[in-house]
A and B are shown apart, each in its own frame.
Chain A
Amino acid sequence: MTAAWAVTKVQFRILKSDPWFLVIMFLMPLAIMPLFLKTMGLALNSSGYAEANGAEQVVPGQAVVFGFFVAGSMGFSVFREHGWHTWNRLRASAAGPKALLLGFAAPWILIHIGYQALLIVVGSLFTDLNLGVGDAVDLLVLAGYSFAVIMIVMFAVSTLSSVHQVSAVVNLGAMVLGGLGGALVPLDQLPSWAQSVAPFTPTYWAMEGHNAIFLDEAGFSGVMRPVLTLLAIGVVFGALAINRFRSDDVKNFFA
């Protein structure tokens, strides 16, 4: 645990020394939210939410899509160690492979939760999304989604051999899974085949949780199923990642 904690802390230090990726990934969705507000408002109205102004879809939806991009940073941080030639130093330390995985995953789960939460709070100011104290239960959805996508990226890291492959998976995850899961447009606006596939995506369950809070005002009971499903997805991919991870696999940070 000592080694995992040391790796965790150094990830925060590295991020602090170069936070610009995260800053840009924060500003970009904020710029996009107002562009789709009116359209999403009409879409939600046609879905039966007469009072909705679109923020209920746009704000959490962008957090889900861009959250996938940000989750990719966990993968890049592992590959970066190979590029910096520090990976072998970590391997030669007393930290075993599981401690290393924990040391990389834990900070990014926390960063990911914080990123989404801040995006939703600041996004609400731009879009008139009404946030109340009761909406704090959304943190459970954020935590579940963060855990799920970081474990998916961890599985990608354990399987893939180059940073470009990880990048492709993350981009695919963000756009395709984001679209299929109803993060880009409300689910009932998608073709029926996409609606059938959607429950197999983590983005769908994240949006189910957000919709339960921001559209249905269902509170804690409304988010339990999505959160548990997200946690289950995370556990499955985490187990696959641990099973597949070999610390001596060759990873290419540079093309």
Chain B
Amino acid sequence: MVLHASGLTKSYGDVQALSGAELEVEEGSIVALLGKNGAGKTTLLSIISGLLRPDSGSVRVGGIDALANADAAAKLIGIAPQDTGIYPTLSVQQNLEFFGELAGMKKQFRITRVQEVAEQLGLTDLLARRASNLSGGEKRRLHTGCALVHAPRLLLLDEPTVGADVTTRAQLIDSVKGLAAQGAAVVYTTHYMPEVIELGADIAIIDDGVLLARGSRADLVASHSVHGLRFATSAPMTPAALDAIGAEADTDGYRVDGEISVGELVAKLGKDAALITSIESLQPSLETVFLKITGSSLDEEDAAPEPDPNNERVST
């Protein structure tokens, strides 16, 4: 087991960011940490990487108590935080070399690794280019590359594809899969369901600072997914109407689980059907797993790429 985190709690004033979170990751596996904004993903990664101290709980990385022996654990961890963090006035090569040297890599090994990482991320032709002159996607790849260069046993990627173009996204996903194939344990936070599927990752669903479910996509869909209908209304439904159709309220409206057609729903609701403003069919999928487990969906606002101030090419 490369990562074993248990009982992690963390609060910021009155806000409980983590409430007993647990996470285990084995060598060679990818765990996609799936959750809405504010679910606790970044807090969890920050604690694992030593950027934050938890209020309670334990973190072991490669068998090392990461809270008691942070420096030793840090050598085993590579983290690419959510914000793109590179030295804009240095070249791509200098950026990669610096983070390798910071991790204590010997020069000879460092030079080889820089070439390998650059090749993996499609940066080989850009090694001599000043980082400020890279496009947004290239910066994002360099940002991730800086976390990979010392060949960490545990790689923590916090929303690595936010603001990235399609090519960058594909390259990053390929790189992550490649690293896992070489034996690294990867924790990958994301809003994007398709990425999770593409990674072939184990999925950990986090909500309100608690890991609610963990498993492969197939297992989660088999055990948690729902058939049914989801609908929104212009005014609250009466309890009697909800009882009539066996509906439950969720954050965006109401949900009826099971085999039910739109016609049946409308017929059962009678005149209350006039309140319906939208209906959506729920099919077994990761989305409906997430919906069932958290009671809400990864809505568009959550899933939309966040604006990246570094995303524009400064010059070429």
| A interface residues with partner B (beta carbon < 8 Å) | 2-3, 6-7, 9-10, 13-14, 17-18, 84-96, 248
Contacts and interface: CB of A to CB of B under 8 A. Distances in A.
Interface stretch (B87-95, B113-121, B202-210, B224-232): B87-95
A75 to B, nearest CB: 18
A94 B102 contact: yes
A85 B79 CA distance: 13
A2 B87 contact: no
Contact of A88 (B72, B81, B103): B81
Given A6-B98, A94-B75, A17 B89 contact: yes
Contact of B49 (A85, A90, A92): A92
26 contacts: A2-B101, A2-B104, A3-B104, A6-B102, A10-B87, A10-B90, A10-B94, A13-B90, A14-B89, A17-B130, A84-B86, A84-B88, A86-B85, A86-B87, A87-B85, A88-B85, A89-B81, A89-B85, A89-B99, A92-B49, A92-B79, A93-B102, A93-B103, A94-B71, A94-B75, A95-B71
A140 B94 CA distance: 34
B51 A92 contact: yes
Nearest to B72: A94
A2 B83 CA distance: 26
Contact of A13 (B75, B86, B94): B94
B146 interface: yes
Interface residues of B, number: 29
Interface of B: 49-52, 70-72, 74-75, 77, 79, 81, 83-90, 94, 98-99, 101-104, 130, 146
Contacts of B146: 89
A91 B77 CA distance: 12
Contact of B86 (A86, A87, A88, A90): A86
A96 B71 contact: yes
A87 B85 CA distance: 8
Given A14-B89, A18-B89, A85-B83, A92 B74 contact: yes
Contacts of B75: 94
A14 B89 CA distance: 6
Nearest to B81: A88
A88 B78 CA distance: 12
A10 B96 CA distance: 11
B50 A95 contact: no
Contacts of B83: 85, 88
A6 B103 CA distance: 9
Given A10-B94, A92-B50, 11 more contacts: A3-B102, A3-B104, A6-B102, A10-B98, A14-B87, A14-B90, A17-B90, A85-B83, A85-B84, A88-B85, A92-B74
